[in-house]
Structure 1
Amino acid sequence: MSAPVMNRPAGETPPGGSGSPAAIKAIRLRHPWRNTFAVVLILIFVLFIIDASQREAFGWDYVGKYLFDQRISQAAFVTLQLTVYSMVIAIILGVTLAVMRLSPNPVLKGVAWFYLWVFRGTPVYVQLTFWGLIAIIYKTIDIGVPFATPWISINTDAALSPFALAIIGLALNEAAYMAEIVRAGLLSVDRGQEEASTALGMSWFQTMRRVILPQSMRIIIPPTGNEVISMLKTTSLVTAVPFSFDLYARARDISVETFNPIPLLIVASIWYLFFTSILMVGQYFLEKRFARGVGDRRPDKKDTSALTGTVPVAGAGQATVIIPPSDDNDKGKR
């Protein structure tokens, strides 16, 4: 029957010369300056809050009055609509452009490259301004055979409202960035995965749905979440269309009535922060969902039950029993 290993000072070898030295108890390093810096930051933040609460320019009474005003809440809903519709179109178009960029067809690749070159190389505000002037460039939308009498001719102003033009302008600009995000995600998957799927008899669609896309989502989701948050804030530029029913535009219009723009800017900022906070939480859980099985999988709690048992020692001719660590009182008894 094997004897338990007694607790000895660090580095001392057990009697008989067999076995390994006792483990050294590590002591966590202290960081006094880190704690001091954290306290200083907290004090600065508290002082800023106290100072802001006492400044009349912020107009906190106006902030409370207009924070849940019906015009502001309706404008916040419109901003969400602009964000969702634009991102859905941008993702669909971005995936298409990414596939075109990866296509061996030089024509498809060239068209996709030209699209990215134009929409990534010009400011989004300029693009939205052009979309606001689209009715001057194209007075009618004609459907039919080119260079012949059109079958259907629709007035551009009647067919495209400012809300639709804002969505089109935002979506086309965002699609250029989504195309590069999706392309980077697809290229991050090893080529052997596709070859193995083909060897198993999977079709291209099955390979993309079951093998390539699930692995590439780990790369695609983080920047896509950032683009959704960025799109929410970019909607404040749709006044270039012009479209004036988004959150920022409505807050600005109300501030013209009250002759006090600062409180309405704070109201708009609070709503933007509320929406972005929700999006950040959703992004966190999506990243966690698609990052399963990747990286170090270290348990949060140490399993002490794994420290007990009989471990064979080579050349010793007998087994050594490892006893789990106990309290200081138990150490003194052994």
Structure 2
Amino acid sequence: MRYFITGTAGFIGFHLARRLLQEGHEVLGYDGMTPYYSLRLKEARVAGLVQFPQFRAVEAMLEDQDTLMDAARAFQPDVIIHLAAQAGVRYSLENPKAYLDSNLIGSWNVLEVARKLNVGHLMLASTSSVYGANAQVPFCETDKADEPLTFYAASKKAMEAMAHSYAHLYKVPTTAFRFFTVYGPWGRPDMALFKFVKAMIEDQEIEIYGEGKMSRDFTFVDDLVDAIVDLSLIRPAEENRVAGIDTLSQQGPFRIVNIGGGQPVGLLDFVETIENCMGKSAKRKMLPMQKGDVPQTFASPDLLLALVNRKPCTRLDVGVEAFVNWYREHQSYLT
């Protein structure tokens, strides 16, 4: 199949593109190579993809509608997987316009591409952040998600709503998947695991927000990729509606799916897992909850299980060890 993936220089986009290429698919990658974090890391990811003869890359911004359309039209994808976005919950407090440009305008441009090319399946990366401070657990896709705590979360919720309207108006088969704290090798430097491991290797303090009382439903990146690849083959339609728990819209071929294992881990347990994997104790600096943080995330994997017959299941210690080993191997250009 032919997959057009936005954000292939990013953490998840790299892993997804590499998996599809290894399986023999064609991939067109589209990435703006923004300097939100290390370009050396992004360039190293791309270098791992260009080794595949069936991979092509376009370097341009999502906001550049003409380039985006021209690239997609020349490639004629079967599936579009839109992963590119301005990421980071905390950064949205500093630079909300970056989220407006990328996550709203950029995502609308992707919707236009899918509409004009009549693409077979459009897939969009959303986030567990849309659930806000939801007290009801686990988080189900049918739960109310109208109280985002950050502009990042609001921009992703808006993207979901825009995509639903396109699915209704233009019958674009669309799946929006909500990620839950993805981690693993080649991860982003602004994520907790990356920052904690780096600080511990450098014998620096790690900053633990919320006095360590928060919990997260961690998802190993390989499990996430498994789910995306499986879901790419299931276009939202009445014939695959899951009774009782589905989010398949009555108004168009649109579905929202959590990608999470449903096994939240306390932040202090997470830190202890890292310590065990590294064989050393962290210097802990306990801090209050940051503005925009949520106390917990907890995915219901029931719909994902019903659709693809599996859910994220990699043990945290196994995933953390894989990251630590990767970091140590690549430390020379990560610091």
TM-score, normalization by structure 2? 0.21
TM-score, normalization by structure 1? 0.21
Higher relative contact order (CA 8 A, sep 6+): 1
- Relative to its length, the structure with more helix (as a share) is 1
Q: Radius of gyration: which is bigger?
A: 1
